[in-house]
Amino acid sequence: MSEVYDRQITLFGEDKQKELQDSLVLVLGCGALGNLVANNLARAGVNLRLVDRDVVEESNLHRTLFRKADVGRPKAEALKEIIEEGSEVRIEALVKDFNRFTWKEMMKDVDIVADCLDSMLPRYLLNEVSVKKGVPFVHGSAIRAEGRVKFFDSENECFRCLYPRTPEPGKLETCSQSGVLNSATSLVSSVQSNMVIKHLTGFGNVNKDLLVFDMKKGEFRTVEVDKNEGCEVCSHNSFDIIEEGGDIIVEETCEGYNVVPKSADVDLERIAENYSGEYKGLFTTFTLSGKEIILFENGRMQVKAKDRKEARSIYSKVVGL
């Protein structure tokens, strides 16, 4: 066995190291959390499947492994290249959206998922897939100087038990609106990586509580999450997103792209305030990253993006879905 893993083998033995090297982890999202989770796991000897639809932006550099030369490149591909230089594992990069049409391909032969996503709708889909297929996932999120981590084992309480209702569009904070501290993303990703390793090897018990960190206040606490006996997903095996859709449609138009959610009521005044835009009653206009945007009260966005991926990415940053 490679000397690369000598210190881990000293800690928990060759059998557990082999379990890591025989495993496959799906990392959904290759931004701040996904960067560091993937790096930790790869250097521990875990095989990875990296998924992200977006490209590297300069604003990503302060909290990721990306280099200036990576700006404009697909995040998944750039991250794979960086990690491969210092690891001895198999890494697959998929530049795709995680949705009801792609999840089967992405979940194939996966032992556990690291949820490093930056919007809620894909997380609700992941939750349904986890319960339906019996594949656990470790949820992580960070905003401002705060972070949260929760292990979901697919058998007990699920993500819907923790967040029963989809946040109203435009009211969920995003990093582009509120900012994020790189030490917060580092802490969250380290705890996520640790939970994945413990699950794969049995080295220590996995804490099933919600872990909440506030780096500004220096507070760390745990919150017990109970299974909701009325939960449609884990208690009644109802998988609406998988079976009926619920995804966002991106349509090409003469004016660019229309991003149309299945159902959404957007707080246009708040969006206008957040992005120094102009609220005009039925819609709000503003500019983001040089792109002219019109957002309507039913959640539809008109954006002059270069392609569908960019349009969907901008929508996620603004509306949080």
Q: Which of 162, 188, 223 is the last residue of a domain?
A: 223
pLDDT at 159: 96
Query: In terms of domains, do 252 and 219 share one?
Result: no
Query: In terms of domains, do 266 and 196 share one?
Result: no
Query: In terms of domains, do 287 and 187 share one?
Result: no
In a domain, 237, yes or no: no
In a domain, 153, yes or no: yes
Residues 6+ apart with CB under 8 A from 316: 118, 119, 174
Residues 6+ apart with CB under 8 A from 48: 24, 25, 26, 27, 38, 41, 42, 83, 89, 90, 91, 92
Give the domain CATH number at 46.
3.40.50.720
pLDDT at 67: 96
Query: In this structure, are strands 91-94 and 47-51 parallel, antiparallel, or unpaired?
Result: parallel
Query: In terms of domains, do 148 and 296 share one?
Result: no
Give the domain CATH number at 281.
3.30.310.10
| Mean pLDDT of each 10-residue bin along the chain, 321 residues long | 88 95 97 97 97 89 95 93 92 90 94 93 92 97 95 93 76 76 96 97 93 95 94 90 70 70 76 88 84 83 83 83 66
In a domain, 239, yes or no: no
pLDDT at 255: 61
pLDDT at 297: 76
Q: Which has the closest alpha carbon to 277: 174, 177, 192, 137? A: 177
Query: In terms of domains, do 134 and 257 share one?
Result: no
Query: In terms of domains, do 199 and 266 share one?
Result: no
Q: Which of 208, 223, 238 is the last residue of a domain?
A: 223
pLDDT at 291: 86
Q: Which residues are catalytic?
A: 175
- Give the domain range for residue 191: 3-223
Query: In terms of domains, do 306 and 164 share one?
Result: no
Q: Write down the pTM of the prediction.
A: 0.80
pLDDT at 146: 95
Number of compact structural domains in the chain: 2
Query: In this structure, are strands 24-28 and 47-51 parallel, antiparallel, or unpaired?
Result: parallel
- Give me 120's structure tokens: 């809620």
Query: In terms of domains, do 95 and 193 share one?
Result: yes
